[in-house]
Structure 1
């Protein structure tokens, strides 16, 4: 799967992750030339130091992980610290709790506040949509809202909600997203041919939470 390495982002977000496992993922990113490394906010500063300023891979972290229902003010603080610590891609989890309530208009306001902070530091703004929780109309609505807000990438899942990989759902997510925004797909459980189909369909990033080397 060497030809896929430049599309793969290694994610190390599960709550039982050890420091050694994170270093193993970092070594994979460096040795295999992967696209990026996604760590929890607690570890951003450490891995920014390890990567240095010239490392070609992107260092990402999450905000509002895993369910997105924190107050916007808390997410703003998370964003500020993540940027200060050296993250260059901020993955913000959609507040589905607000979406499913009369407060749904707040989602648009929240995106507007966060994208301003992120783009001011010339970092990437990724919106994470837990697409398995959304019906098709809601998914279309949130894809449009995130795109209109200035998202650089849309991601189809957090990886924290249990569920099997579905190529059909992943390709549907790619089709819903306009060409002006990048797409990240959580590809744990996908076969190499399925990942090749995703890349051929225009998916820019494949997020893998498991080691590539064995």
Structure 2
């Protein structure tokens, strides 16, 4: 397995231009990345550019706060699928989780899973805001709701992925879903460390530097 094949080549900055999105797709095709991950306004354009390639179109749902209503997240997921998204990275409702509203958190995830119609759903936990026990609980809720992955971070909060957190997440889901490490991964050594800790997907805006370095 090459590092390139597990990288979600990511550009989620609000100021991203069309030219940058086109370049992102070109780089992903050239290097054989797993997916191109963009905000949902770019999904239709990205999916068209990736037709007849092995690179998947990934988008984010409820990003970056996770605090949109469940109805809004499900609607965003529905339209993303219609526009050609193959994978959906949704942000968990962190406030509900920390309040102990676990049924609401599970139902929030399940609504996006249903809207995804069998496509891969990755649940972003934003682990820098959670305790170890909350990370374990969130992993169980994601599994119970039918998610394909749990993911460390948006990259827009106070911290990103750490080896320790990835290992904790991998232990907590125990093979019932996969783990994506994202946020602050800039080098091949950092990416390899995340994979050794249990990640099977890497989200990064430094994909080209990682594979060429």
TM-score by length of 1: 0.89
State the partner residue of 1:144: 140
| Closer/same/farther in 2, CA of residues 190 and 168 from structure 1, 3 Å limit | farther
| Closer/same/farther in 2, CA of residues 102 and 182 from structure 1, 3 Å limit | closer
C-alpha displacement of 1:27: 1.3
State the partner residue of 2:18: 19
Other structure's SS at 1:17 match: coil
Matched length = 210
C-alpha displacement of 1:103: 4.2
Counterparts of residues 21-100 of structure 1 (less than 5 Å) = 21-52=20-51, 54-100=52-98
Counterparts of residues 118-157 of structure 1 (less than 5 Å) = 118=116, 120=117, 122-157=118-153
C-alpha displacement of 1:189: 3.7
Do the aligned partners of 1:188 and 1:207 also contact (CA within 8 Å) in 2?
no
Unaligned runs of 5+ in 2: none
State the partner residue of 1:108: 106
Distance in 1 (alpha carbons) for counterparts of 2:171 and 2:23: 34
| Closer/same/farther in 2, CA of residues 104 and 174 from structure 1, 3 Å limit | closer
Distance in 2 (alpha carbons) for counterparts of 1:20 and 1:162: 29
Other structure's SS at 1:3 match: coil
Aligned-residue Cα RMSD (Å) equals 2.0
Do the aligned partners of 1:188 and 1:210 also contact (CA within 8 Å) in 2?
no
C-alpha displacement of 1:100: 2.6
Runs of 4+ residues over 6 Å off in structure 1: none
C-alpha displacement of 1:180: 2.4
Unaligned runs of 5+ in 1: none
Other structure's SS at 1:46 match: helix
Do the aligned partners of 2:7 and 2:34 also contact (CA within 8 Å) in 1?
yes
C-alpha displacement of 1:211: 5.3
